[in-house]
Amino acid sequence: MRKEQISDALNLLEDSVLEETDRLRNREGKGLDTEGREESNREDSRKACSRERESREESSWEAKCRRESRKSRKERAGSLWKWAAAAAGLLLAACVGWIVMEQKQNQSGQDSSLHASHDPEGRQEPGTQETGDATGLPMLSVTEIGQEEAAGYEGVRVHDISELVDANPWGEALGISSLPVYENVLSYDESYIAQGGDFHKMREFLIEVAGSLGLEEESLTITDDVPDEETRRIITEKLEMGGDTVPEGYFNPTKLIGEAEGLKIQVNQAMTATVSFEPAVFLPEEYHFTHYAAYGELAETAEYLEKEYEDFIGMEHPVANIYGGGYNIYLQQSYWIEFYDRAEDMVQRIINYNFNRTAFYCDDQGRLYLARSFRPDLSRMVGEYPIITAEEAKELLRKGNYITTAPYEMPGEEFIGKVELVYRVGERERYYMPYYRFYVELPEAAMDDGLKAYGAYYVPAVESAYLSDMPVWDGSFNL
């Protein structure tokens, strides 16, 4: 069934029913990212900011996963024996060649078995995926961005690219030569219904978050988001009126909900915990926590939040990531507050920055009304992959080897404003793998307000030898 048909049918429901079945539209849990850390070029009002700001990181990057099967390497040693009778000299050469090949294949099999042993789910069987080289690392597929999933394009409008800031620990001077790649534990069927969530882990996470906020497990009322019988009946009837049927698993739970006085905690299958403060919390008057507070004001607010919510943040060495700097159509500049743990190991610090984060959000009155803790399941590590340099990625960008939601071809190297290394962490990414994100000035999108428009262009950081489908921009919108 097409997602659009389901959405059209749901639009016929009463508002109260829509509110109860919000998760059926699959609108929640899109706070990635990385992305997460994506900024939309869409025009929004002050009220829209308060309603949608917290979910912006992942909304632009819900992507369909493509899987490509690769043929397994076949042992060719036996063919050498067919020529053994031709001549005695060739017989000796064939024997030597066979011995050498057997040794290589045995070593490759050992590497594949070793890799499979690291998969807690046992999904990777030795020899079932083509490898990039003798290391035994599986080939990776790049998840493209479907046109039907993109809303606007990922970009930012600033006077100068230097206004776009963040606390990304990566830098070219680090000289990192390899980074881990993880397999997303979630998968989606043709109806965009998620599968693979671990509800036991989700419950443990919910209780942990509640405890960090001073709540005992016994004080929580824990439920899921399965609609009641009457709601299911209404949805089913509305879909049938449109000639559709409810897909299998459509009414399965997608999140757990814990409620106590003044707090509501929701944990989705992507292991994102969303805390709603009811009522919203006023900060001391000396702190300015608003949609358009200046960078320095939010830096002071972050210091307060770090102390006040130390247990909820739950990090040994939290780093405040005040990121953003783009302007809306009213020339109002915005930043957001997150925290990540500053690990001693630089690779782990990069992983923390991209995956293990805590974020705080304000409402229109400058109150704390929402907080999120991101804890994605990284148990399925595929391996440590060699990565290219930012300069090599720039050459691939110039050649058109990128993915983007911008509706323009990369205009040229001279328009590149900024590059950083990030992980794309949208829920529908097949693999969580590193990319170089280039912010490229878009002359076609320029307006008469003095601001420059920059679009985000992604080039895989993993060496191309390990990619089964290096992206090539073909001139179409959103690929």
Per-residue pLDDT of the chain (479 residues; tens, 9 = 90+): 434 444 444 444 333 333 333 433 333 333 334 333 444 444 443 443 344 444 433 333 333 333 333 333 333 333 333 333 333 343 333 333 433 344 434 433 333 332 333 333 333 433 345 666 657 899 999 987 654 455 679 999 999 999 999 999 999 999 999 999 999 999 988 777 888 999 999 999 999 999 999 999 999 999 999 999 999 999 999 999 989 999 988 999 999 999 998 999 999 999 999 999 999 999 999 999 999 999 999 999 999 999 999 999 999 999 999 999 999 999 999 999 999 999 999 999 999 999 999 999 999 999 999 999 999 999 999 999 999 999 999 999 999 999 999 999 999 999 999 999 999 998 889 999 999 999 999 999 999 999 999 999 999 999 999 999 999 976 654 44
The encoded tokens of residue 53 equal: 């700001």
Do residues 37 and 96 lie in contact, with contact meaning Cβ atoms separated by under 8 Å? no
Burial of 82 (0-12, 13-18, 19+ CB in 10 A): exposed
Q: What pTM was computed for the model?
A: 0.74
For 329, which DSSP code? T
Q: Tokens 């299998």 belong to which residue?
A: 248
Domain locations along the chain: 77-117
Do residues 154 and 326 lie in contact, with contact meaning Cβ atoms separated by under 8 Å? no
Cα–chain center distance at 87? 60
**Residue 162 φ/ψ, nearest 5 degrees:** -65, -20
